[in-house]
Structure formats: structure tokens, C-alpha cells
Amino acid sequence: MASVACIGECMVELRQAQGGHSAGPSSSGQGQGGGLYSRGFGGDTLNTAVYLARLEVKVDYFTALGDDALSDEMIAAWTAEGVGTRRVVRLPGKLPGLYMIQLDANGERQFFHWRDSAAARRLMDLPETDELLNSLMSYDIVYLSAITLSIYEPAGRERLFAAIKRARLLGTRFVFDTNFRARGWPDRDVAREVFAAAFAAADIVLTSTEDLLALYPGESHEQLMARIPSPELVFRLAEPVSLLRFPGGTSKVHAEPMTRPVADTTAAGDSFAAAYIAARLGGSDPVEAAQAGHRLASLVICYPGAIIPGYAMPPKKRHRPAASRQATK
């Protein structure tokens, strides 16, 4: 079975409760001005890992957690979703990071983070790091985002890139998602430098106008795409359209019209990434994979929260099986 290594961070999530009602004493709290917040867990690459598992892709999550009760809950929840946890390092005395989501009337979200001392930030600087990085060569795909890269120190990023390059020599493909959050970077010049390194190393880049225009303001779609040398590129526009570039061609893929109201755009890109990767591993071409990505993302944004109920997942589609790790290159 094809396998994916997702690298990143999962945090404790506080979200404004729907209608101001509590979900129970263990999962909500009283906020300023009488607002109620529900407590969950989330993170961009973790969301992708969950959707990959639901799409029947074998996936392991690479991160560091503490030895606290919240970290125990995370491990239990991931295991219940079918996400592999054998690559999770537990650090005594450490805790996960924390973030809060606020939504506007249109379902758009704003994030606030408390993560400076989170366990995940140490993943590239541990006694177990070499073993973890060497294991990347056993996976078909290594997937991470710009948020993942932003939590590591420069030396840690170099260590990670070096391991990915070694794994690629043995047929592992590197998928980079440009999920950009300005507050995670010391400045945009540092972010641009790291993005350039990731673009140069990636086999597949998943990006968007929202991400790239924040780094390269005023540039056209053509200029933005020209910055990315990877052989396979998915460029999501502000409207529900993707521009694709791949060996042998280009294409423009439109999402199907929405038939339900948007509830929450959280994890739209994360779920798109999961469906795209699953389809490519299953033998679909980039156009078919982008169509699958749009379908899942369009469904996910109709529900509150990053992870939709299991019963709401679309029917499973059997893809053409890939014969080897090289088959879908």
C-alpha cells in the first residue's frame, strides 16, 4: 500500500461555540464578554493526515508532543482516525501549542496562536531526530507545509531538507503545501528564502493566490507560477478554480458549483491536499486529482470545524492502483 509521511504540528484548538452554547464542562470555557469556546485539536498537516486516512491512504504523522493528558487525547484521536502515531515523539514536561479561531459572518477565519514553547518545535533537534529523518525514505510521499517549516530553526530546516533530498534519491516524492501564515515568520524575506528552497526540492507544489500574493504582492498568476520550478504544480485561485502545470501539459480545473451554504472555510486547502495526494497515489492524472481535491474541499467547507463527521465523507472511489513508487511520477 502506498504510504505518506505528514510532518507538522497539532495544537489545542479553541473555537467560538455555535450559538453561544457549551459542548460540556470538559470541552468549553467562558470567554471575555460571555462568549463560549469549544475545545478540540487541529493543525494543517494533521488535518490532511486525517483526510488521507479516511481516503484509505496509509499515513504516519511526524511530530513531537508532551507527556500530558491533552497529548494523550491527541494520540487516541489520531489512532481512532487511522493515522499512524509510531513517529510521534513524547517529550516529558512539554505541552502542545494552543490556537484560537474566530469566524466572521462569511465563515472566514482569523487565527491567534500560543506556541513558542510547544513540543513540536523541537522535533528537528532531538536524540530521535536522525532515526525519524532516515525513515522518510521508506515512504512514497513526504508531505509538509510552510507552517511546518516555520516552527523549526534554520538548522532544523536544513536538516529536514537534506533528509528529504536523500529520500528522493530512492524514489520518495516531496509534496510542499505553501500554507502561509505571516505571524509564523520573523519577516517575509526569511519566508521567501525558505519557500525558494522548498520549491527547488519539491516534486509537487500545492499553492494558492492567497499564499503567494502575501509574499509577492502585485505579481500576476504567470509570474507567481514561474517562481516555482517543480514539475507538478497546483495553483488555486481566489475563485474555485485551479491552474495546473505538469509534465506534458497545463490545464484549468473548475470546482463544481456549490449547492449548500459555506459554514467554515477551515481545512479547505488541507482537505484538497489530501484528496489530490490520494488520487495521485491511486493512479489518477493531475486533472482528475484536482477535481477530487475540489470535490472534497467543497464538502468540507459546508461543515463547522476542520474535520467533518465521518458519515459526511463522500463515497469512496476506487482509483487505478499504482504499480510502484515511480508509477505516478
| Residue listed under C-alpha cell 523541537 | 122
In angstroms, the CA 252 to CA 243 distance is 5
Beta strands 36-42; 28-30: pairing state: antiparallel
**Which among 140, 211, 264, 270 is annotated as catalytic?**
270
| Residue listed under C-alpha cell 533537534 | 125
Query: Would you state the cell numbers that stand for residue 214, as one nine-digit string?
Result: 502575501
Asked if 270 is an active-site residue, the reply is yes
Tell me which residues are annotated as active site. 270
